[in-house]
């Protein structure tokens, strides 16, 4: 058992333990912090596999972006100090059984499957090679998905703004003034029979 093996199992413990605590912790803010540890562990695993570029992207996008976004939304939507309610016992038991059996079955298959590498010389996953192949317009280049993903990001950005924006209604001369559109209230006013 050398240092590399010890580091690997340490990373594995961080990833799996962090994930487990993230889905079971009753305090939502702690849950987000455990998720952060799990994601950092995954970035460490990428570094362990010598894929530094992906590890860096993982840290920048997930740890620096998504987790911060999640923590902000926790602060915006609820008190972070109070406990979440426990899941119903039946649902928790059956979810745990489904996850455990699925996990056991998949691990069994992985254990029996013999993986044979194709044995060709390795291509160094440097940023130069990644950029050259990804932006290649030849037959096996990835320029089209790259452009599609950039359009998707733009669409998602505009969509976020449109969804989260607060619509101000100009004051009507006759109707009483209203600050913003509240869907629940409108439903209640115009279609009270829909309630319940």
* Residue 39 engages another protein in binding (rule: CB under 8 A): yes
* Residue 187 engages another protein in binding (rule: CB under 8 A): yes
| Cβ 43 vs Cβ 34: under 8 Å | no
Tell me which residues in 125-164 interact with another protein (CB under 8 A).
125, 129-130, 133-134, 142, 145, 149, 152-153, 156-157, 159-161, 163-164
- Taking the complex as a whole, the smallest distance from the CB of residue 173 to another protein amounts, in Å, to 27
CA angle 13, 37, 150 (to 5 degrees): 120
Q: Which of 107, 128, 169, 179 binds another protein (CB under 8 A)?
A: 107
Q: Which of 3, 83, 118, 144 binds another protein (CB under 8 A)?
A: 118
| Cβ 35 vs Cβ 15: under 8 Å | no
Q: Which of 30, 52, 61, 179 binds another protein (CB under 8 A)?
A: 61
Compare residues 5 and 174 and give the one whose CB is closer to another protein.
5
Please count the residues of this chain forming the interface with another protein, following the rule CB under 8 A: 87
Query: Which tokens hold the place of 148?
Result: 């599609």
Cα 196 to Cα 193: distance, rounded to the nearest angstrom: 8
| Cβ 24 vs Cβ 13: under 8 Å | no
* Residue 32 engages another protein in binding (rule: CB under 8 A): yes
Distant-in-sequence, close-in-space partners of 114: CB < 8 Å, separation ≥ 6: none
Q: Which of 79, 81, 121, 176 binds another protein (CB under 8 A)?
A: 121
Compare residues 122 and 174 and give the one whose CB is closer to another protein.
122
Helix residue ranges, H only, 25-170: 28-48, 52-58, 67-77, 89-112, 127-134, 143-164
- Taking the complex as a whole, the smallest distance from the CB of residue 73 to another protein amounts, in Å, to 5
| Cβ 34 vs Cβ 22: under 8 Å | yes
* Residue 74 engages another protein in binding (rule: CB under 8 A): yes
* Residue 49 engages another protein in binding (rule: CB under 8 A): yes
- Taking the complex as a whole, the smallest distance from the CB of residue 174 to another protein amounts, in Å, to 25
Beta bridge partners of 168: 180
Cα 24 to Cα 30: distance, rounded to the nearest angstrom: 10
């Amino acid at each position: 058992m050398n240092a590399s093996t010890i580091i690997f199992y340490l990373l594995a413990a961080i990833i799996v333990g962090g994930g487990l605590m993230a889905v079971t912790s009753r305090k939502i803010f702690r849950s987000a912090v455990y998720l952060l540890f799990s994601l950092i562990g995954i970035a460490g695993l990428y570094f362990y596999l010598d894929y530094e570029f992906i590890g860096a992207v993982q840290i920048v996008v997930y740890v620096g972006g998504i987790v911060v976004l999640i923590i902000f939304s926790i602060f915006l939507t609820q008190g972070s100090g109070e406990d979440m309610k426990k899941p119903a016992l039946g649902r928790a038991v059956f979810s745990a059984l489904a996850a455990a059996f699925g996990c056991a079955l998949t691990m069994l298959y992985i254990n029996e499957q013999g993986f044979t590498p194709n044995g060709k010389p390795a291509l160094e996953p440097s940023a130069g090679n990644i950029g050259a192949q990804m932006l290649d317009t030849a037959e096996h280049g990835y320029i089209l998905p790259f452009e599609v993903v950039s359009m998707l990001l733009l669409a998602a950005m505009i969509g976020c703004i449109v969804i989260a924006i607060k619509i101000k209604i100009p004051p009507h001369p006759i109707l009483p003034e209203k600050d913003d559109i509240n869907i629940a209230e409108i439903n209640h006013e115009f279609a009270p029979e829909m309630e319940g």
